[in-house]
Amino acid sequence: MKNRLKLLRAERDWSQGELASRLGISRQSVNAIETGKYDPSLPLAFRIADVFALRIEDIFLRDEEGAGE
């Protein structure tokens, strides 16, 4: 799943460590989400949305292949 996490984090001038701290996860987990190697659980996706004051669908983008599934 694609996401805008790195862009949103950069707009706030937060390091991966700062975002990880706000989310209660490791910096490595933030990196894995940003690079698309790991899709967050639904509860974590809601926490991410809350931290950025956005909707989940404003952060996480559907892969075009799976859009109709």
- H-helix segments, the chain: 5-11, 16-23, 27-34, 42-52, 56-59
Burial class (CB in 10 A: 0-12, 13-18, 19+), 47: middle
Q: What domains can you pick out in the chain, each with its CATH number?
A: 2-62 (1.10.260.40)
pLDDT digits (tens, 9 = 90+) for 41-54: 999 999 999 999 99
Token readout for 58 is 């404003």
Mean of all residue pLDDT scores within the chain? 93
pTM, full prediction: 0.87
Band (pLDDT 50/70/90 cuts) for residue 64 is: low
Q: How far is CA 48 from CA 22, 31, 66, in A?
A: 9, 14, 22
